[in-house]
Amino acid sequence: MIRTPLPPELIESENAQRLPALEDDYASLGRALERRGRSIDAVKDKVKAFAVAVPTWGLGVGGTRFAKFPMPGEPVSVHEKIEDAAVVHQLCRMTPTVSPHLPWDKVDDYAGLREEAAERGLAFDAVNSNTFQDQPGQPLSYKFGSLTHTDAGVREQAIAHNLACIEAGEALGSTAITVWIGDGANFPGQQSLTRAYDRYLDSMSRIYAALPDGWRLFMEHKLYEPAFYATVISDWGSSLIAAQELGDKAQCLVDLGHHAPSVNIEQIVARLARVGKLGGFHFNDSKYGDDDLDSGSINPHQLFLIFNELVEAEARARDGFSPAYMIDQSHNVTDPIESLVLSAAAIAGSYARALIVDRGALAAHQDANDVALAFTDLRRAYETDVSPILAMARCELGGAIDPIETYRQSRWRPRKAQERARASTAAGIV
Ligand code: RM4
Ligand code: MN
Ligand code: MN
């Protein structure tokens, strides 16, 4: 029996008030799509099968480098974070997994944590390792790097941490590890660009060799920060070369915030998918850099164009196409539960819009160099309001038609404010 955090009767009564209007909107959109040769139910079924993982570190209130303003009732321990992740999933029904970060989520009993999550209807997604910070009591420092450090002892320590993450991940039921390192240089000449990359490959091959059967190794690139002159895995090229050298289980992970502002991310997605190296995503949005803002809040069109490539890649794939979808956001000024629910909807909404693109017409217009009509094929899908599809999918799966209103009605956060310890105000980018 799954213990849902919110009373199911609350969701039922909130939905009952909204169902007649939703049915009306759904029927009307269904007719409009039918005229365009699309089946609304087919799109809804795909949306119902769509899932994106929630990051444990995105459930607490995030901080910037300057300050963190805690929220009464925010989760502090991983146990409380699982509780809140269950609220997100209960409301939106598309976030059945949680992506943990170690050692931030360290516990003594990972099998027990897996059970605890399962009781709440949740499972664990890719484990994220952390060698971008020094931990209390850690013998050697990562100040000058971790997996690429010049000192073999530091590299060994970083490799050992990743192997421990895999072990914890096995107990949690994960099947992937995501490695993002902060290694790099702040000054020209600080490090050999070539030898640092060689050391990366060397260390990663040790982690790769320890992957259990059925596991994947995701490498996450990022152009800058904390290294401001050169980052070792700065771009998808560095990531792809490494993935190709390491082997089939190694793939690239695209965090949307890890590119320069004008980079064409959908093209990167198309390239990586083409060579079978698109491992997964960290969804978020940004205006300037790795802002970790809510998915689709700044540039929803980019998110749609990315899903347009994903739907194309899925149709092309002969032996399966299953990138791991994860959210990686920092919620500084909103309730993280609300941000995650809205982000999941923005992500699934982009997927739904991409599904209603008339691919036959688009390909024909592309081949005929009919630019205006090819662009219109995409634009028409992008401008379609798919919210009735998302709401109906949620409702049929037991989620909330209006998740934010229902969440506010539940008074979850004010109740937790009475029960939970207050979070610290320590700043730091997470
Ligand atoms: C990094 C990167 C990683 C995340 C950390 C917290 O910028 O996005 O995915 O694990 O932040
Ligand atoms: Mn990330
Ligand atoms: Mn990031």
| pLDDT (mean) for 88-108 | 98
pLDDT of residue 423: 83
Residue 249 confidence class, pLDDT cut points 50, 70, 90: very high
pLDDT above 60 for 5 = yes
> Measuring from atom 11 of ligand 1, which residue has the nearest CA?
430
Residue 230 confidence class, pLDDT cut points 50, 70, 90: very high
Ligand nearest to the CA of 286: 3
Beta carbon of 255 within 6 Å of any ligand 1 atom? yes
Beta carbon of 80 within 6 Å of any ligand 1 atom? no
Tens of pLDDT, residue by residue over 179-200, are 999 999 999 999 999 999 999 9
pLDDT of residue 64: 86
| pLDDT (mean) for 358-379 | 98
Tens of pLDDT, residue by residue over 264-317, are 999 999 999 999 999 999 999 999 999 999 999 999 999 999 999 999 999 999
Beta carbon of 128 within 6 Å of any ligand 1 atom? yes
Tell which residue, 311, 337, 305, has the closest CA to residue 323: 311
pLDDT of residue 428: 60
Tens of pLDDT, residue by residue over 396-430, are 999 999 999 999 999 999 999 999 988 877 766 54
> Measuring from atom 6 of ligand 1, which residue has the nearest CA?
430
pLDDT above 90 for 84 = yes
109-143: b (≥16 Cβ within 10 Å) or e: ebeebbebbeebbbebbbbbbbbbeeeeeeeeebe
> Measuring from atom 5 of ligand 1, which residue has the nearest CA?
430
Percent of the chain with pLDDT over 90: 96
Beta carbon of 220 within 6 Å of any ligand 1 atom? yes
- Cβ burial of 419 (10 Å; 0-12, 13-18, 19+) is exposed
Q: Are 29 and 41 in contact (CB under 8 A)?
A: no
Interval between CA 346 and ligand 2 midpoint (Å): 18
- E strand spans, 285-338: 324-327
Q: Which atom of ligand 1 is nearest to the CA of 55?
A: 10
Q: How many CB atoms lie within 10 A of CB 31?
A: 10
Q: What is the C-alpha separation between 123 and 94, in angstroms, rounded?
A: 12
Ligand nearest to the CA of 255: 2
Interval between CA 430 and ligand 1 midpoint (Å): 7
| pLDDT (mean) for 257-263 | 96
Provide the token pair at 348: 């699934």
- Cβ burial of 359 (10 Å; 0-12, 13-18, 19+) is middle
pLDDT of residue 427: 64
Interval between CA 227 and ligand 2 midpoint (Å): 16
What is the overall mean pLDDT for the chain?
97
Handedness of CA 88, 90, 94, 97 (dihedral sign): positive
Beta carbon of 130 within 6 Å of any ligand 1 atom? no
pLDDT of residue 319: 82
| pLDDT (mean) for 121-143 | 98
pLDDT above 90 for 338 = yes
Q: Which atom of ligand 1 is nearest to the CA of 178?
A: 9
Using most ligand atoms within 8 A of CB, pick from 99, 102, 255, 283 the residue to mutate for ligand 1.
255
